[in-house]
């Protein structure tokens, strides 16, 4: 569905002439025209109004009764009054009604001071009560979930939380139980409301009925300051506002940005701020001394790390996590200019051919986040948005629900979006190239007519409408990405507004660090390198284990934890003479092998820029001072470079940004001021043309086209194919956040019911998964959507992560 | 160059020039009139209060050092840590950090209590707004005005100090005094 056309109309509110887009609700139009109408239940982000609270009544000329302005669309020539006697009387009455059962325990209520009910009672209420009858009572406070406390006495039954659960997150857990004045909010089964987006209802609730457990009683609005920032715990890079009290982040709120997050946050972004202020965090430099990591002075840490200068040509670097563009840029300068090595990578799955990387980054092929909402068709390919870029899961649901977007899903593992999809198909865990060439072939034939899944997907893509957005995961193999580009061209997505590709990188700022040059085969801005190309991640591991590389620089990544093939990385780190890491949590690989650990900044402390998967440069601002002895990442790299005898000429983070802009042609002219709080999408700027064009390789149809064999099922010998998934919660920050402890799960081995029956494994049984000589212990989870013949294991978790396993086939049995 | 006011400028009014008689009166007569009050006090004798041995009694509504209160029956603190006093304070000298009561550790009557309650008396202007703001009459202004100390940090009064029964050092003025 293309974006609806916006028609401006004129109406009069309280004698003021107001221009508004046709179809907006009267409350919103009034707000634009500086007329304030009080309301509780209406919330634009929740979609259709319900008119539950009646607070927003206004008088409209020509309509005898008062109307709810939240559910009345504006019309041309409408004349509205909000200040008449009748309206005032109605408002007074509604406030009185709302307070009939309201406890008014403002002094102990966490909402006090920022409570719409307080404000509206004060501004539009009568100021006294006539109620002498007892109020209704509930047990309070109760835990609605480990994250949310519910106080049912304070609830004004506005439906906001219930609508969020049912229409936004679509988890269908919250309901109104009972009727009349006994109505209360509850989960339908009485179990805790555990869902990945549950924290949003705390911010939605217009009273103190739903409050955050971690923030409970922490501060009052006048004790705190709000500091805008960007969450870099996942690639969605939602805009947030940190609530800061006494130099500590105590809460994370939304900072609504239609182009990024649409005003929602996932619970990881909302609650993992706790990792900033826990004892587990590394806040002092550590150096390995006699086999033990010990806290040392910065001077000592720099001295030890400066040894890297003796590993010229034998140093490799990995960039991951929330590293900013500046950090990645300075590190690749240190490596390339100071240490004569191109061995730097940021892509777990291995480097892409440069031409392909350029093609995929080309402005003509980029879709933006809002495009997901207005496309005709959205194809989710090889990624699970809920886990990898959670906020897009909500965005896609919104498009399907409100705008009739047709959703197609093609992935190895069942997706949370499957119930919303028009077409949903599975391919084998490593069968994406075969699947895509089959799709390409099916798109090529005018009409295949055959009823198989690939054909119906092709049919949907071809005839569902021109605006197609393809959201693809980074795990796709280069061959698959080549066919993806050809498919995009076949569908005419190139250069089309509102259509294109949206790549989901594995790490939060994956796109940014690559544009800053953290690639083995390209410099900043995907620039061609001279003759020597560097090694990619897997080759770095092999070379380090084989002794060809002697020093490793790990910028906010622990490869043992994050990258595939744990054994290879353990060997690599073990054999490297010098391992320098920037980290905030002591994960396994670092604990056992790091020589020097510099404490890394959290996303609330960093100054710098990051790039959203859709090309939006966003700015990180320091909300709090560095705790302990933490120093800025860019300054650590700059200082280390100076001590290695290669001064990078960087004294402030904005100098680093200016160097980056000078080095990346398609960023030319961008300033920090322009980026500001809302970001700048570089593919939309004319300078984007400076991105070197990708080659023609993508135009020749791959030789594989025609081999329609998505799932090679044969010769498994009773073994199962190994697929991996990374849960939204699989992050070190989550593990050390006390509020999120309940999310830490053991290895869940997802099996299809048929396989489970064959292996005589029941749901919840302990199982052993093995391949080669490795055995992992996990718990079986039997899911109906899992295709037969495949087992899915969690990766990125602390214990028994799937990256222990390297073979494509695994044996599963009862433990 | 002289200033030539135009016709529409209102002329400045001056008092008539002062003669020698008027001048002399102003110098001696007015001065003596003022001194009359001074000499009259001399006759009354000295009025020195020998502070600190003697103290000026204060009125009942005198605003001196704050006190926090407990319920007399249960012994629970009245303060629920709502921070309203901190919001009202124009000198920004109250710091409240709230925490939650648990069945094992019940400090106040409500859901929350003040885990930290500090008043920086070196910044307090004794306006009494905190007392007015408090919804539970948990904080009131006492009568003690003897608040000097050797370091500034000693003037940050903690919850324990404010809850403790203050030493009654200041006499209260009795009616009619
Ligand atoms: S919800 Fe608002 S009005 Fe009700 S007790 Fe809390 S602060 Fe007071
Ligand atoms: S809990 Fe809050 S959001 Fe939910 S219905 Fe009650 S008042 Fe509304
Ligand atoms: S008396 Fe006035 S200045 Fe002193 S603590 Fe109370 S409100 Fe603040
Ligand atoms: S003294 Fe009164 S106003 Fe201040 S925090 Fe305690 S209860 Fe609230
Ligand atoms: S806001 Fe209109 S009825 Fe609630």
Model confidence at A228, pLDDT cuts 50, 70, 90, reads: very high
Q: Give the confidence band of A712 by pLDDT, cuts at 50, 70, 90.
A: very low
Among B66, B78, B84, B111, name the best residue to mutate to test ligand 4's pocket (greatest count of ligand atoms within 8 A of Cβ). Answer: B84
Ligand nearest to the CA of A156: 2
Partner-chain contact B98 A141, CB within 8 Å: no
Q: Going by C-beta distance under 8 Å and a sequence separation of 6 or more, which residues neighbour residue A320?
A: A346, A507, A554, A555, A556, A557, A562
The answer to whether B128 contacts chain A (CB < 8 Å) is no
Average pLDDT score over residue span A451-466? 88
Ligand 1 pocket residue status of A111, Cβ below 6 Å: yes
DSSP states of B39-58: HHHHHH------TTTS---B
Give contacts of B80 with chain A, Cβ < 8 Å. 107-108
Protein residue with its CA nearest to atom 3 in ligand 1: A118
Nearest CA in chain B to A111: B82
The model's pTM is: 0.91
Nearest-neighbour CA in chain A from B100: distance (Å): 7
Q: Are A112 and B82 an interchain contact pair (Cβ–Cβ within 8 Å)?
A: yes
Residues of A in contact with B103 (CB under 8 A): none
Query: Residue A99 and residue A333: Cα distance in Å, rounded?
Result: 63
Question: Atom 4 of ligand 1 has which residue's CA nearest to it?
Answer: A104
pLDDT at A266: 96
DSSP assignment, residue A667?
Answer: G
**Can you tell me the distance from the alpha carbon of A251 to that of A225, in angstroms, rounded to the nearest whole number?**
11
Closest by Cβ to B98, choosing from A105, A217, A222: A217
Rounded Cα distance, A692 and A526, in Å: 8
| Residue limits of CATH 2.40.40.20 in chain A | 720-814
pLDDT at A83 > cutoff 60: yes
C-beta separation of A772 from A300 below 8 A: no
CATH 3.40.228.10 domain position(s) in chain A: 355-504
Closest ligand 5 atom to residue A50 Cα is 3
As a whole number, mean pLDDT of residues A553-573 equals: 94
**pLDDT higher than 90, residue A792:** yes
Is residue A707 over pLDDT 60? no
Is any Cβ of chain A less than 8 angstroms from the Cβ of B112? yes
pLDDT of B1: 52
Cβ neighbors of B34 (< 8 A, separation 6 or more) are none
Instruction: Identify the band that residue A595 occupies on the pLDDT scale cut at 50, 70 and 90.
Output: very high
Band (pLDDT 50/70/90 cuts) for residue A723 is: very high
Question: In this model, does residue A3 exceed pLDDT 90?
Answer: no
User: If you average pLDDT over residues A369-395, what whole number do you get?
Assistant: 96
> pLDDT at residue A696 above 80?
no
For A355-504, CATH gives 3.40.228.10
B90 at A interface, C-beta within 8 A: no
pLDDT surpasses 50 at A232 = yes
Centroid of chain to Cα A801: 21
Instruction: Choose the closest CB to A108 out of B86, B96, B110.
Output: B110
Atom of ligand 1 nearest to the CA of A207: 1
Ligand 3 pocket test, pick from B93, B143, B145 with the greatest ligand atom count within 8 Å of Cβ, gives B93
Which residue, among A461, A143, A515, has the nearest Cα to A326 in the 3D structure?
A515
pLDDT bin (cut points 50, 70, 90) of residue A701 is: very low
Quick one: which of A179, A520, A205 has its CA closest to A343? A520
A597-614: average pLDDT: 96
Q: Which residues line ligand 5 (CB under 6 A)?
A: A 39-42, 51-56, 68, 70
Identify the segments of chain B with pLDDT beneath 70.
1-3, 5-11, 177
Give the Å distance between the CA of A41 and the centre of ligand 5. 5
CATH of domain A720-814: 2.40.40.20
In the CATH scheme, what is the code of domain B66-163? 3.30.70.3270
A107 and B100 in contact by Cβ < 8 A?
A: no
Of B80, B86, B87, the CB nearest to A108: B80
Q: Is the pLDDT at A391 greater than 70, yes or no?
A: yes
CATH architecture of A286-349+509-678: 3-Layer(aba) Sandwich (3.40)
Contacts of A390 (CB under 8 A, 6+ apart): A196, A197, A234, A236, A266, A268, A728
Half-sphere exposure of residue A507: CA atoms within 13 angstroms, side-chain side: 30
- The kind and range of the H/E element at A253 are strand A248-254
Q: What distances in angstroms separate CA A747 from CA A339, A691, A727, one per listed residue?
A: 40, 42, 11
Predicted ipTM of the assembly: 0.83
Segment A128-172, tens digit of pLDDT: 888 899 999 998 889 999 999 999 999 999 999 999 999 999 999
Average pLDDT along chain B: 89
CATH code of the region A8-98? 3.10.20.740
Contacts of A223 in chain B (CB under 8 A): 83, 86, 96
Domain with CATH 3.40.50.740 in chain A: 286-349+509-678
pLDDT score, position B134 = 96
Q: In this complex, which of A141, A217, A222 lies closest to B87 when CB atoms are compared?
A: A222
**pLDDT for position A703:** 38
Question: Using CA atoms, how far apart are residues A789 and A413, in angstroms rounded to an integer?
Answer: 12
Tell me which chain A residues have a C-beta less than 8 angstroms from the C-beta of B110: 105, 107-108
Topology (CATH) of A139-277: Alpha-Beta Plaits (3.30.70)
Instruction: Please give the average per-residue pLDDT across A417-429, as a whole number.
Output: 93
Give mean pLDDT, residues A268-278.
96
In Å, how far from its chain's centre is CA B164? 21
DSSP A694-713: P-GGGGSPPTTTT---S---
Q: Which residues contact A230 (CB under 8 A, 6 or more apart)?
A: A237, A238, A239, A240, A603, A610, A618, A619, A620
Contact A265, A195 (CB under 8 A): no
Asked if the model's pLDDT at residue A752 lies above 90, the reply is yes
pLDDT value at position A697?
46
pLDDT score of B9:
67
Residues of chain A with CATH 3.30.70.20: 139-277
Nearest residue in B to A151, CA atom: B111
Q: Which residue's CA is minimally distant from atom 8 of ligand 3?
A: B89
Using CA atoms, how far apart are residues A270 and A202, in angstroms rounded to an integer?
A: 11
pLDDT digits over A332-354, tens only? 999 999 999 999 999 988 889 99
Ligand 4 centroid – CA A271 distance (Å): 28
Least confident of A262-266, A494-498, A530-534: A530-534
Q: Is B101 on the interface with A (CB under 8 A)?
A: no
Ligand nearest to the CA of B85: 4
B129 lines ligand 3 (CB under 6 A): yes
Residue B169: predicted pLDDT? 79
């Amino acid at each position: 569905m293309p974006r609806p056309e916006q028609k401006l109309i004129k109406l009069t509110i309280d004698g003021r002439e107001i221009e508004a887009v046709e179809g907006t609700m009267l409350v919103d139009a009034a707000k634009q025209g500086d007329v304030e109408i009080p309301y509780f239940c209406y919330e634009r982000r929740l979609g259709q109004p319900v008119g539950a609270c009646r607070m927003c009544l206004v008088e409209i000329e020509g309509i005898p009764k008062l109307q709810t302005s939240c559910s009345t669309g504006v019309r041309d020539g409408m004349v509205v009054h909000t200040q008449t006697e009748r309206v005032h009387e109605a408002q007074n009455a509604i406030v009185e009604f709302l307070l009939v059962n309201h406890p008014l325990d403002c002094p102990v209520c966490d909402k006090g001071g920022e409570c719409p009910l307080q404000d509206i009672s004060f501004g539009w209420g009568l100021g006294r009560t006539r109620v002498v009858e007892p109020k209704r009572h509930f047990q309070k406070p109760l835990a609605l979930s480990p994250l949310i406390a519910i106080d049912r006495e304070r609830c004004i039954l506005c439906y906001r939380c219930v609508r969020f659960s049912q229409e936004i997150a679509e988890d269908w857990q919250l309901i109104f139980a009972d009727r009349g004045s006994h109505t209360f909010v509850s989960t339908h089964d009485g179990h805790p409301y555990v869902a990945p987006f549950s924290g949003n209802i705390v911010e939605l609730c217009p009273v103190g009925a739903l409050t955050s457990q971690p923030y409970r009683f922490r501060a009052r609005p006048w004790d705190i300051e709000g500091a805008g920032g960007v969450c870099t715990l996942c690639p969605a890079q939602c805009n947030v506002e940190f609530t800061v009290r006494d130099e500590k982040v105590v809460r994370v709120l939304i900072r609504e940005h239609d182009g990024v997050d649409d005003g929602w946050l996932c619970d990881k972004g909302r609650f993992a701020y706790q990792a900033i202020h826990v004892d587990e965090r590394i806040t002092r430099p550590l150096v390995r001394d006699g086999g033990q990591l010990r806290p040392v002075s910065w001077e000592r840490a720099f001295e030890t790390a400066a040894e890297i200068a003796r590993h010229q040509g034998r140093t490799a670097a990995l960039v991951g996590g929330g590293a900013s563009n500046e950090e990645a840029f300075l590190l690749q300068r240190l490596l390339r200019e100071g240490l004569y090595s191109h061995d730097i990578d940021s892509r777990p799955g291995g480097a892409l051919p440069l031409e392909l990387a350029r093609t995929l980054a080309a402005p003509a092929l980029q879709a933006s986040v809002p495009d997901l909402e207005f496309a005709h068709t959205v194809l989710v390919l090889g990624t699970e948005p809920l886990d990898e870029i959670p906020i897009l899961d909500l965005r896609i649901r919104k498009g399907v629900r409100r705008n009739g977007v047709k959703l197609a899903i093609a992935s190895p593992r069942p997706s949370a979006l499957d119930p919303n999809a028009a077409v949903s198909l599975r391919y084998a865990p490593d069968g994406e190239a075969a699947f895509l060439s089959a799709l390409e072939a099916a798109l090529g034939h005018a009409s295949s007519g055959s009823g198989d899944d690939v054909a119906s997907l092709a049919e949907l893509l071809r005839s569902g409408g021109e605006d197609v957005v393809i959201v693809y995961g980074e795990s796709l193999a280069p061959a698959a990405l080549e066919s993806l580009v050809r498919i995009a061209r076949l569908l005419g997505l190139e250069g089309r507004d509102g259509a294109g590709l949206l790549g989901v990188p594995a790490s939060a700022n994956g796109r940014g660090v690559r544009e800053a040059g953290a690639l083995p085969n390209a410099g900043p801005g995907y620039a061609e390198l001279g003759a020597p190309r560097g090694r990619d991640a897997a080759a770095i591991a092999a070379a380090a284990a084989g002794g060809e590389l002697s020093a490793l620089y790990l910028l906010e990544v622990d490869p043992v934890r994050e990258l595939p093939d744990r054994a290879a990385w353990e060997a690599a780190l073990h054999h490297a003479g010098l391992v320098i890491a920037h980290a905030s949590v002591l994960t396994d690989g670092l604990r056992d092998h790091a020589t020097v650990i510099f404490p890394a900044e959290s996303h609330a402390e960093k100054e710098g820029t990051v790039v959203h998967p859709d090309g939006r440069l966003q700015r990180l601002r320091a909300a709090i001072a560095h705790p302990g002895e933490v120093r800025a990442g860019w300054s650590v790299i700059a200082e280390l470079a100076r001590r290695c005898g290669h001064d990078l000429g960087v004294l402030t983070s904005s100098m680093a940004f200016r160097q980056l802009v000078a080095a990346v042609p398609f960023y030319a002219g961008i300033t920090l001021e322009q980026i500001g709080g809302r970001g700048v999408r570089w593919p939309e700027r004319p300078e984007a043309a400076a991105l070197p064009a990708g080659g023609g390789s993508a135009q020749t149809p791959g030789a594989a086209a025609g081999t329609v064999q998505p799932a090679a099922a044969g010769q498994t010998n009773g073994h199962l194919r190994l697929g991996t998934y990374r849960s939204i919660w699989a992050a070190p920050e989550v593990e050390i956040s006390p509020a999120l402890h309940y999310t830490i799960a053991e290895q869940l081995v997802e099996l299809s019911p048929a396989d489970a029956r064959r292996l005589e494994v029941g749901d919840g049984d302990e199982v052993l998964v093995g391949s080669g000589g490795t055995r992992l212990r996990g718990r079986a989870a039997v899911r109906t959507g899992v295709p037969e013949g495949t087992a899915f294991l969690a990766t990125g978790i602390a214990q028994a992560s799937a990256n222990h396993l390297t073979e494509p086939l695994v044996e599963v049995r009862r433990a | 160059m002289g200033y030539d006011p135009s016709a529409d400028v209102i002329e400045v009014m001056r008092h008539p020039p002062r003669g020698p008689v008027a001048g002399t009166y102003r110098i001696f007569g007015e001065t003596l009139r003022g001194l009359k009050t001074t000499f009259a006090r001399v006759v009354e004798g000295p009025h020195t209060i020998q502070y600190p041995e003697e103290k000026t009694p204060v009125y009942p509504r005198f605003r001196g050092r704050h006190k926090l209160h407990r319920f007399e029956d249960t012994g629970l603190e009245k303060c629920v840590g709502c921070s309203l006093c901190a919001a009202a304070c124009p000198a920004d000298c109250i710091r409240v950090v709230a925490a939650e009561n648990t069945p094992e550790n019940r400090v106040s009557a409500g859901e929350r209590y003040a885990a930290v309650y500090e008043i920086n008396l070196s910044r307090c202007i004794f306006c009494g707004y905190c007392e007015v703001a408090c919804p539970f009459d948990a904080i009131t202004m006492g009568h003690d005005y003897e608040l000097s100390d050797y370091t500034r940090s000693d003037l940050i009064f903690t919850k324990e100090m404010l809850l403790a029964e203050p030493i009654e050092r200041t006499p209260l003025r009795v009616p009619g005094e």
